[in-house]
């Protein structure tokens, strides 16, 4: 007797154009990583940050300002893109929440890249590997079964998996809460690491 492992997708396969939604969202978010990291490293190189810290502004206020702008820009662009490609038709609240957490993730990664780089070239050298690594889960969706369990150590896996399941299968909060919780945990660690490393560079 034949036995089907996992859900039976016969007759209900997901078109490739729908699988690409997660990949598009990740690439848009990663673009903001380059932009924010390059901006911070340029301000450090030109000593703009030093001039700002001479004023009553504190390091914490500077991080909040940079982080808020980075998150808003990344989130709004990714949300707009998924709206255009009809990726928000199913479970829009879940997808919007995942995109917001993804925007926080790339902002933290941008802090780390900016702390490692000293100019645009060095930001690019550090940023390209980060882009490739964070894009692996989204690329894996295009070829189901090609990735093994190790992919779950990449934070963007929980972002792409949530968007993919919510937009294509109508997954609810009960199905993706674990993904969102783990992604929020990764965000807290990465943001803290980025702030600490940049703080040392500023001081």
pLDDT in tens, 175-202: 899 999 999 999 999 888 888 887 777 6
pLDDT of residue 183: 93
pLDDT of residue 185: 94
Check residues 16 and 169 and name the one with the higher pLDDT. Answer: 169
The pLDDT mean for the chain works out to: 81
Read off the pLDDT of residues 74-121 as tens digits, 9 standing for 90 and up: 899 888 888 888 778 788 899 999 999 999 998 888 888 887 776 777
Q: What is the pTM of this model?
A: 0.85
Q: Give the pLDDT mean for 39-67.
A: 79
Q: Using only the alpha carbons of the chain, give its radius of gyration.
A: 19
pLDDT of residue 10: 59
pLDDT at 6 over 60: no
Q: Give the pLDDT mean for 20-33.
A: 79
Read off the pLDDT of residues 127-161 as tens digits, 9 standing for 90 and up: 888 888 888 888 877 776 666 778 888 998 899 88
pLDDT of residue 164: 84
- At residue 3, φ and ψ (nearest 5 deg) are -130, 125
- Contact, 154 vs 144, CB < 8 A? no
Q: Give the pLDDT mean for 53-71.
A: 82
Q: How confident is the model at residue 5 (pLDDT cuts 50, 70, 90)?
A: low
């Amino acid at each position: 007797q034949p036995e089907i492992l996992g859900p039976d997708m016969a007759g209900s396969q997901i078109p490739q154009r729908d699988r690409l939604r997660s990949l598009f969202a990740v690439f848009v978010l990663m673009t903001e990583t380059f932009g924010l990291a390059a901006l911070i490293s340029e301000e450090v190189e030109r000593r703009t940050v030093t001039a700002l810290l001479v004023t009553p502004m504190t390091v914490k206020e500077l991080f909040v300002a940079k982080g808020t702008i980075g998150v808003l820009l990344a989130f709004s662009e990714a949300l707009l893109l998924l709206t255009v490609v009809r990726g928000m038709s199913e479970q829009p609240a879940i997808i919007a929440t995942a995109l917001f957490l993804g925007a926080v993730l790339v902002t933290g990664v941008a802090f780390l890249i900016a702390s490692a780089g000293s100019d645009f070239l060095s930001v690019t050298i550090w940023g390209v590997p980060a882009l490739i690594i964070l894009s692996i889960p989204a690329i894996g969706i295009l070829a189901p079964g090609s990735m093994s369990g190790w992919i779950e150590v990449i934070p963007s896996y929980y972002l792409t998996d949530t968007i993919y399941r919510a937009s294509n299968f109508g997954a609810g909060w009960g199905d993706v809460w674990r993904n969102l919780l783990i992604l929020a945990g990764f965000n807290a660690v990465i943001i803290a690491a980025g702030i600490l490393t940049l703080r040392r560079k500023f001081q």
